[in-house]
């Protein structure tokens, strides 16, 4: 995309770049899909339409009506009640739909995981940038002779870059504590 295209939406270039990065992520995920995955996604998209429910309902009603009215019209019904074959067909179709949904959801979960990873990386990068900005502002404040030099413990703490591993450990520890409290309440 050219700079002229970026200006056309009225968004700042860094926002447009972020939008394009997300689009490239989705495109790479779509391009990385196997032919079978693409087929399954297309089939799932087709089955997820409201008209599909109408078609299935019409076919089931048509089958029941054909079998109920065949005898009075002098024909032999293909499947008299209780419609065992219809039940088997519905059960088999349901099984295939469940597997189809599971497979497409599994592929979509890969994209979700990539987005979550990207979000986490951007959050950590933003935190590092914020810490650096606070460090620079505090350094600037100390260098200005007209500003009274004081200790700001909160600014000092915020100026320290975060260690992602420590955050992960703290989250695990907190989740462990929450799980333990929940287990204690059950007993």
Let me know whether 15 and 77 are in one domain: yes
62-72 CB burial, b ≥16 within 10 A, e <16? ebeeebeeeee
Let me know whether 61 and 142 are in one domain: no
Let me know whether 126 and 106 are in one domain: no
Compute the average pLDDT of residues 90-103. Answer: 93
Compute the average pLDDT of residues 82-92. Answer: 93
pLDDT for position 91:
96
Let me know whether 130 and 102 are in one domain: no
Which tens digits make up the pLDDT trace of 143-184?
888 877 777 788 778 778 777 777 778 777 887 776 676 677
Residues 6+ apart with CB under 8 A from 185: none
Confidence band for 1, pLDDT divided at 50, 70 and 90 = very low
Q: What is the domain range of residue 146?
A: 119-187
Compute the average pLDDT of residues 121-139. Answer: 86
Let me know whether 99 and 182 are in one domain: no
Residue at 5 is within a domain: no
Dump the DSSP string for 90-136: HHHHHHHHHHHHHHHHHHHHHHHHHHHHHHHHHHHHHHHHHHHHHHH
Check residue 107 and give left, alpha or beta (phi > 0: left; psi -120 to 50: alpha).
alpha
Residue at 2 is within a domain: no
Let me know whether 78 and 157 are in one domain: no
Is 159:135 a contact under the CB 8 Å cutoff?
A: yes
Compute the average pLDDT of residues 59-79. Answer: 92
Say what the pTM is.
Answer: 0.56
Compute the average pLDDT of residues 62-76. Answer: 92
Let me know whether 79 and 131 are in one domain: no
pLDDT for position 6:
44
Instruction: Output 68 or 177, whichever has higher pLDDT.
Output: 68
| Percent of the chain surpassing pLDDT 90 | 28
Task: With CA atoms as reference, report the closest residue to 37 among 113, 89, 109.
Answer: 109
- Measured in whole angstroms, the distance separating CA 96 from the mean position of its chain's CA atoms is 23
For residue 55, pLDDT beyond 90: yes
Let me know whether 68 and 137 are in one domain: no
d(CA 92, CA 75): 28
Which tens digits make up the pLDDT trace of 12-30?
787 788 788 888 888 888 8
Where among 62, 84, 110 does a domain terminate? 110
Where among 42, 76, 110 does a domain terminate? 110
């Amino acid at each position: 995309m050219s700079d002229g295209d970026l200006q056309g939406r009225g968004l700042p270039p860094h926002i447009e770049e972020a939008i394009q990065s997300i689009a490239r992520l989705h495109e790479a995920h779509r391009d990385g899909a196997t032919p079978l995955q693409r087929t399954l996604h297309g089939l799932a998209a087709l089955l997820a339409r409201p008209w599909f429910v109408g078609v299935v309902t019409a076919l089931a009603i048509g089958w029941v009506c054909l079998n109920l009215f065949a005898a009075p019209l002098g024909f032999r019904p293909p499947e008299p009640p209780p419609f065992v074959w219809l039940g088997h067909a519905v059960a088999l179709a349901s099984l295939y739909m469940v597997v189809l949904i599971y497979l497409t959801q599994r592929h979509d979960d890969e994209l979700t995981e990539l987005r979550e990873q990207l979000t986490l990386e951007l959050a950590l990068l933003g935190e590092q940038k914020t810490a650096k900005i606070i460090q620079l502002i505090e350094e600037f404040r100390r260098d200005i002779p007209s500003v009274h030099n004081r200790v700001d413990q909160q600014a000092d703490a915020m100026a320290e870059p975060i260690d992602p591993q420590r955050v992960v450990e703290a989250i695990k520890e907190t989740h462990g504590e929450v799980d333990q409290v929940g287990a204690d309440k059950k007993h």
